[in-house]
Amino acid sequence: MDRREALSRVALIMGGTIIGAEAFLSGCKNPPAKEGLFSTEDVALLDEVGDTILPTTAASPGAKAAQIGAFMKVIVTDCYTPEDQKIFTDGIIKLQDAAQKKYSKSFMEMSPEQRTEFLIALDKEANDRSKEIAANDSKLTDEQKHERKLQQDLGTYKRPVEDDPHYFSLIKQLTLWGYFTSKPGATQALRYVAVPGSYQGCIPYKKGDKAWAT
């Protein structure tokens, strides 16, 4: 990566499309999580949630083929702050409770159609939350933003609760990122050329051609 790419990442954060991108850039500054944030059942559940977000289609395999549940476990355990770890693990419980309440059965027992319907509603809830966070951010003055940046640099910044991301935003972003940077995601859903050998800046594109993986 270089500054141009860093710049495009900044643009993405500012566009609010990657929740947790800040953590991608700054990593996690807190002590390692203890073993066992996730049970085997949690990983299996995350596999199914991930595979509902990005299911198998005629064109390519789904997120389960990328072992997305295990990937989420690794990232949350190794890279998340304790605050985000808690949002994520509490979120698994909340997701199951909400499924039970709405469908009177567990997510694992729901039909694919029910799962999709349920997660679309959850995604809307998460998007509303993201909009609130963006609105909070837009209320800050330049001085307040600068102060926040200094605190983040010093490691003294404490994110206010009203800026906590929705747990489903975390799940969805880990699913997208984990899948499209996995071998099946990069090589089957997208196009990947390890050594392009040349560069052509302007070539024809026709609808349906896959995007480059990187």
Partner 1 sequence: MGDTLNINNKAQQQNTFDAIVIGSGISGGWAAKELTEKGLKVLMLERGRNFEHLKDYKSASKDIWEFPHHGRVTQEELKRHPVIARTWGTYEPIIDYWANDVEAPYVEIKPFKWWRAYQFGGRSILWGRQSYRWSDFDFEGNAKDGWAIDWPIRYKDIEPWYDYVEEFIGVSGSIENIPQLPDGHFTPPMDLTCVEKDVSARIKEKFGRHMIIGRSANTTIPKEGRTNCQFRNRCWEGCPFGGYFSTQSSTFPAAMKSGNLTMRPWSIVTKILYDKDTKKATGVEVLDADNNQTYQYFSKIVFVNASALNSAWVLMNSATDIWPEGLGSSSGELGHNIMDHHYNVGASGTVEGYEDKYYYGRRPNGFYIVRFANLFGDKRDFLRGFGYQGSGSRENWSRSVAELSIGGAYKDALTEPGQWTIGMTGFGELLPYHENKIYLDKNKKDKWGLPVLAMDAELKDNELKMRKAIREEAVAMLEASGVKNINSWDNGHEIGDGIHEMGSARMGNDPKTSVLNKWNQVWDAQNVFVTDGAFMVSSACQNPSLTYMAMTARAANHAVEELKKGNI
Residue 140 to residue 58: CA distance in whole angstroms: 46
- Tell me the window of 1-9, 34-42, 100-108, 132-140 that interacts with partner 1 (CB under 8 A): 1-9
Report, in Å, the least distance between residue 151 CB and partner 1: 11
- 125 lines the binding site for partner 1 (CB under 8 A): no
Residue 170 to residue 139: CA distance in whole angstroms: 24
- 190 lines the binding site for partner 1 (CB under 8 A): yes
Residue from 34, 139, 161, 209 in contact with partner 1 (CB under 8 A): 209
Quick one: which H or E segment has residue 84? helix 82-103
Residue 66 to residue 179: CA distance in whole angstroms: 6
Cβ closest to partner 1, residue 96 vs residue 116: 116
Question: What backbone torsions phi and psi does residue 81 show, to the nearest 5 degrees?
Answer: -70, 155
In the region spanning residues 9 to 38, those forming contacts with partner 1, defined by CB under 8 A, are 9-12, 14-15, 17-18, 23-32
Quick one: which H or E segment has residue 126? helix 112-138
In the region spanning residues 150 to 169, those forming contacts with partner 1, defined by CB under 8 A, are 150, 152-153, 155
Which string of x and - marks every residue 73-112 that binds partner 1 (by CB under 8 A)? -xx--xx---------------------------------
- 116 lines the binding site for partner 1 (CB under 8 A): yes
Residue from 72, 95, 99, 189 in contact with partner 1 (CB under 8 A): 189
Residue 155 has which token pair? 């490691």
- 134 lines the binding site for partner 1 (CB under 8 A): no
The identity of residue 171, as a single letter, is I
Question: What backbone torsions phi and psi does residue 211 show, to the nearest 5 degrees?
Answer: -75, 155
Contacts of 138 (CB under 8 A, 6+ apart): none
Report, in Å, the least distance between residue 133 CB and partner 1: 15
